[in-house]
Amino acid sequence: MGGVCARRALVAAVLLFAGVTAADAASMPPPGAASCTGCHASSTNVETNVPRIAGRGASEIVAAVEAFRSGQKPATVMDRIAKGFTEAEIRAIAEWLSAQK
């Protein structure tokens, strides 16, 4: 837990030093989010069979990732991707994705 708090404090200090506002920081994707947006397009202008997840509820996204991680939900690659993230990382990514409209 101490490492997570220290990491957050470091990120906050870097953002403050760089002149990034809280609103800017909230709009920036958390580490690992590119793993999602690489396949799950946020734009409705992009045609894809992969479902859009931007704007969905954070709890819905977390539940889906946990189901992929446990093998409860069948997947082609999501099971492997999900295993690469901690619960905190999944929650941060899900919250960021849910804020995207």
Two structure tokens written together for 45: 């202008």
In the prediction, which pLDDT does 8 show?
A: 55
Residues 24-80 have pLDDT tens digits of 445 789 999 988 988 998 888 888 899 999 999 999 999 999 999 999 999 999 999
Q: Which amino acid is at 13?
A: A
The confidence score (pLDDT) of residue 76 equals 93
Amino acid letter, 38? G
Angstrom distances, CA of residue 62 to CA of 24, 46, 59, 81: 24, 24, 5, 13
3-state secondary structure (DSSP) of residue 99: helix
Domains detected in the chain: 1-25 (no CATH), 31-99 (1.10.760.10)
DSSP 8-state class, residue 79: H
Which residues lie below 8 Å from residue 10, measured CB to CB, with a gap of 6+? none
**Residue 95: pLDDT over 60:** yes
